[in-house]
Amino acid sequence: MRSKWYSRWYGRGRIFDVWSVPHFFFGVMAASFLVVFPVHFWYFFGGIVLLAFAWECFELWVGIRETFLNRVTDGLLPLLGFFLLYDVFQSMPFSEEHQSGVFVVSVFVFLLLNYISWEARFNGEREFLG
């Protein structure tokens, strides 16, 4: 039987895995933060780059096994999420209250995704073991 087209790209030991979603959503959360709080764009972006790749170093240090391409992808996904959503957040006519609400929701979703993922990892679910 022929495998599905996405099995070449997605799954344990592939370029994308279940952890790709929280990595991407870190960028979404960062974009919503920048819309609410007046921080210099390029300094903030540099901080995101540092955090994304520092997290990958942390994962390596604690023994999470991933392919090299998955590590690179996990480092780039927050940047993709940031650039995609920053432009959207900037172009939408949100009031200050709605901008704050989007930030709070993005933080909540980011934390929820991470909680679910780490809980699954600690429970030994194969897909989340890295």
Cα 26 to Cα 78: distance, rounded to the nearest angstrom: 5
CA distances to 5, 39, 45, 55, 68 from 76, rounded to whole Å, are: 22, 21, 12, 12, 13
pLDDT confidence bin for 104, thresholds 50/70/90:
very high
List the chain domain ranges. Answer: 35-118
Tell me what the mean pLDDT of segment 76-88 comes to.
Answer: 92
Amino acid at position 21, single letter: V
Question: Do 52 and 26 touch, CB atoms closer than 8 A?
Answer: yes
Cα 4 to Cα 81: distance, rounded to the nearest angstrom: 26
Q: 36-51 pLDDT, tens per residue?
A: 888 999 999 999 999 9
Please report the pLDDT score of residue 100 as a whole number.
Answer: 87
Please report the pLDDT score of residue 2 as a whole number.
Answer: 47
Residue 16 phi/psi, 5° resolution? -115, 145
Cα 92 to Cα 126: distance, rounded to the nearest angstrom: 40
Range with the poorest average pLDDT among 9-18, 61-70, 71-80, 113-122: 9-18
Please report the pLDDT score of residue 69 as a whole number.
Answer: 87
Residue count of the chain = 130
